Chains A and B, each alone.
Chain A
């Protein structure tokens, strides 16, 4: 039997096609891989590994919780204690949507060596809930009517403070003075002078002081620090960071508890140093809306973004701050702005330069926020050589006019619209996020970090670090110095908005540059537009 040429052509005609397609596929992959490898090799970025924290050995740390509201409950959960109501809620949420994994996440958290021993909350219902949920036969939790009583009892090693802002510093100072360890929510203080007093108390005390900026545990941020330190972005001249929320919860209009009344709330104690006003449920549950107890966008949300960037760039306190904005989206009697733009100037700051020496220096940190729109504007670090989007995911794009990457851009090994680096520790994880506000925090990397593809509550890691330092010594990642930077920067933003003028910082004397006739603390605490418009409440 003999094949003719025609037979072979017809019979084997597919072979060259097969070969061509195979070759094209293989070389496409090889080509893109080798240029990717070349880029990665040049960038030399090391994704951060989870910090190794020495164990919390010995006797359990005896913890007292001050403030068991929304954040207090979250912090208590991070310590490993969830109320039965929350557990049931999460179980039902999971039945409805199997991807809602908050309960599974909670159950898989490592057990911390702590013992809840006390609760202090001026609202009876919350204090009683705490005791009902966490008291056991061999551990009866005690309710303290004041924080002083709890701190001075000798039964508490450490306190977790999740109160309105105006109580943060007095409680922290009281605890530090009595050698009781402190985990306090942000912002660390409510006024400028408190910030110095607290720093002094922390310096004098042997107790461990930590500020609740849990995102310091987020692995993408430590990776981002590595990226910036390696000069990947070149000189960063502008950082843009934003808050966009458009729901009641995001605008601090939290639920008002049905049992709230002058009989169940110690109103005098809630007010503390705040102006004496008659009992007001709105003020109690929605305190973030008034300067008397809270600090609005600048203290509540700017602090997150500021500290997030301070942990990546370590830029410290700005030399000046100007802010503008107003109450534009929620004219409901609040006196903190719901739209704010804050520009912080760092004229001497640099992340390194790929250009002629001295050409580049200085950076503006721009925080732009509204509570009337939910469009997601990412955080962006803008450098001469590259742009980085910072969140739980990191993406770095080369800049078309970069000096450092000029050669690679020229031969099209890099393209301005193609990322040169992406870090997505959650790539193999699909978790449902429950609400708009949680999505806001999750996108920013403020809720979770991902370790080996598994999401871990960063608040848990942050508290674990604090407990570990209590037992083993060492340094917390957000201590008094980081808190000092955060608080002063936030107060500068608040002051600038309230005064409508630029606030300056003198780094040498570590003081705000005085303005004649202006008492900064008085300004921060001042409450114009105090009267409630009852029809807007609810």
Chain B
């Protein structure tokens, strides 16, 4: 049992770091590129929630949307890679991925733009979202990450 838990922890840690890697890289690339904007992605939103994205574009400054997106990506990336406050990171990640999913849902009848592969109802955004759910439920920062130092420190102080 103990052995299985250890294996699970290693796997989830690996999953956490790779997801963090993915988010952080996206965030950094967007942050350093002044030409990047989420306008096209949002403007081409389709499916049952497209009204929400049109509303967003019409009522919120695009610069603010861009900044929030970059900050959210980096929060997930940093918390997941460093292994601290990862539950907060997981919630942000789930929210962000849910938005990405809703903007371009792989529903039958909608044209899939800029995607490789074929999808029906489920796409990689949705799978990564569920992976974030796993990270939320199984925080591993205390096994590998800054939380290990924090938790150990607390433990030492307790004794």
Using CB atoms and an 8 Å cutoff, list the residues of chain A in contact with chain B.
1, 3, 7-8, 10-15, 17-18, 21-22, 24-26, 28-30, 33, 98, 427-428, 430
Q: Which residues of chain B are near A427, meaning CB under 8 Å?
A: 39-40
Q: Which residues of chain A are near B82, meaning CB under 8 Å?
A: 14-15, 18
* B143 interface hit (Cβ, 8 Å): yes
Cβ contact within 8 Å between A17 and B146 = no
What DSSP secondary structure best describes chain B's contact surface?
A: helix
Given contacts A1-B156, A428-B43, 15 further A-B contacts (CB under 8 A): A10-B148, A11-B146, A11-B148, A12-B149, A13-B144, A17-B17, A18-B81, A21-B25, A21-B28, A22-B24, A24-B25, A24-B28, A25-B25, A25-B28, A25-B32
* B3 interface hit (Cβ, 8 Å): no
Q: Which residues of chain B are near A12, meaning CB under 8 Å?
A: 146, 149
* B47 interface hit (Cβ, 8 Å): no
Cβ contact within 8 Å between A29 and B29 = yes
Q: Which residues of chain B are near A1, meaning CB under 8 Å?
A: 153, 156-157
Cβ contact within 8 Å between A14 and B146 = yes
Cβ contact within 8 Å between B152 and A428 = no
* B21 interface hit (Cβ, 8 Å): yes
Known: A1-B156, A21-B21, A21-B25. A13 touches B149 (CB 8 A): no
Cβ contact within 8 Å between B24 and A14 = no
Q: Which residues of chain A are near B24, meaning CB under 8 Å?
A: 18, 21-22, 25
Known: A17-B21, A17-B81, A25-B24. A10 touches B32 (CB 8 A): no
- 13 A-B residue contacts at CB 8 Å? A1-B156, A11-B145, A11-B152, A12-B146, A12-B149, A17-B20, A17-B21, A18-B78, A21-B21, A25-B29, A29-B29, A98-B54, A428-B37
Measured CA separation A493–B31 after assembly (Å): 54
Q: Which residues of chain B are near A29, meaning CB under 8 Å?
A: 28-29, 32-33
The minimal Cβ–Cβ distance linking B22 to chain A, given in whole angstroms, is 9
The minimal Cβ–Cβ distance linking B71 to chain A, given in whole angstroms, is 15
Cβ contact within 8 Å between B152 and A7 = yes
User: Count of A-B contacts with CB under 8 A?
Assistant: 73
The minimal Cβ–Cβ distance linking B85 to chain A, given in whole angstroms, is 12
Interface residue from A7, A98, A430 paired with B43 (Cβ < 8 Å): A430
* B106 interface hit (Cβ, 8 Å): no
Cβ contact within 8 Å between A13 and B28 = no
Q: Which residues of chain A are near B29, meaning CB under 8 Å?
A: 25, 28-29
The minimal Cβ–Cβ distance linking B145 to chain A, given in whole angstroms, is 6
Measured CA separation A352–B3 after assembly (Å): 75
* Residue among A17, A21, A29 facing the most chain B CB atoms (10 A cut-off): A21
Measured CA separation A411–B48 after assembly (Å): 47
- Within B1-40, the residues touching A (CB, 8 Å) are 17, 20-21, 24-25, 27-29, 31-33, 37, 39-40
Interface residues of B, CB < 8 Å — how many? 32
Cβ contact within 8 Å between A14 and B33 = no
Cβ contact within 8 Å between A428 and B39 = yes
Cβ contact within 8 Å between A26 and B32 = yes
Q: Which residues of chain A are near B54, meaning CB under 8 Å?
A: 98
- Within B104-132, the residues touching A (CB, 8 Å) are none
- Within B39-77, the residues touching A (CB, 8 Å) are 39-40, 43-44, 54, 77
The minimal Cβ–Cβ distance linking B140 to chain A, given in whole angstroms, is 11
Q: Which residues of chain A are near B33, meaning CB under 8 Å?
A: 29, 33
Known: A14-B83, A428-B39. A3 touches B156 (CB 8 A): no
The minimal Cβ–Cβ distance linking B110 to chain A, given in whole angstroms, is 16
The minimal Cβ–Cβ distance linking A101 to chain B, given in whole angstroms, is 13
Measured CA separation A29–B27 after assembly (Å): 12
Closest chain A residue, CB of each to CB of B28? A25
Cβ contact within 8 Å between A7 and B145 = no
The minimal Cβ–Cβ distance linking B3 to chain A, given in whole angstroms, is 19
Cβ contact within 8 Å between B25 and A14 = no
The minimal Cβ–Cβ distance linking B156 to chain A, given in whole angstroms, is 5
Q: Which residues of chain B are near A33, meaning CB under 8 Å?
A: 33
Q: Which residues of chain A are near B156, meaning CB under 8 Å?
A: 1
Interface residue from B27, B28, B143, B149 paired with A3 (Cβ < 8 Å): B149
Measured CA separation A25–B37 after assembly (Å): 17
Q: Which residues of chain B are near A98, meaning CB under 8 Å?
A: 54
Cβ contact within 8 Å between B39 and A13 = no
Which 4 pairs across A and B sit closest by C-beta, in order of nearness? Answer: A25-B28, A11-B149, A29-B32, A14-B82
Q: Which residues of chain A are near B153, meaning CB under 8 Å?
A: 1
Measured CA separation A15–B157 after assembly (Å): 25
Q: Which residues of chain B are near A28, meaning CB under 8 Å?
A: 29
Closest chain A residue, CB of each to CB of B151? A11
Closest chain B residue, CB of each to CB of A36? B35
Cβ contact within 8 Å between B28 and A14 = no
The minimal Cβ–Cβ distance linking A37 to chain B, given in whole angstroms, is 11
The minimal Cβ–Cβ distance linking A11 to chain B, given in whole angstroms, is 4
Q: Which residues of chain B are near A15, meaning CB under 8 Å?
A: 82
Closest chain B residue, CB of each to CB of A99? B54
Cβ contact within 8 Å between A7 and B81 = no
Q: Which residues of chain A are near B44, meaning CB under 8 Å?
A: 430
Q: Which residues of chain B are near A14, meaning CB under 8 Å?
A: 17, 20, 81-83, 144-146
The minimal Cβ–Cβ distance linking B155 to chain A, given in whole angstroms, is 10
Measured CA separation A26–B144 after assembly (Å): 26
- Within B76-94, the residues touching A (CB, 8 Å) are 77-78, 81-83
Q: Which residues of chain B are near A30, meaning CB under 8 Å?
A: 32
Closest chain A residue, CB of each to CB of B26? A25
Q: Which residues of chain A are near B37, meaning CB under 8 Å?
A: 428
Closest chain B residue, CB of each to CB of A17? B81
Closest chain A residue, CB of each to CB of B18? A17
Cβ contact within 8 Å between B144 and A10 = yes
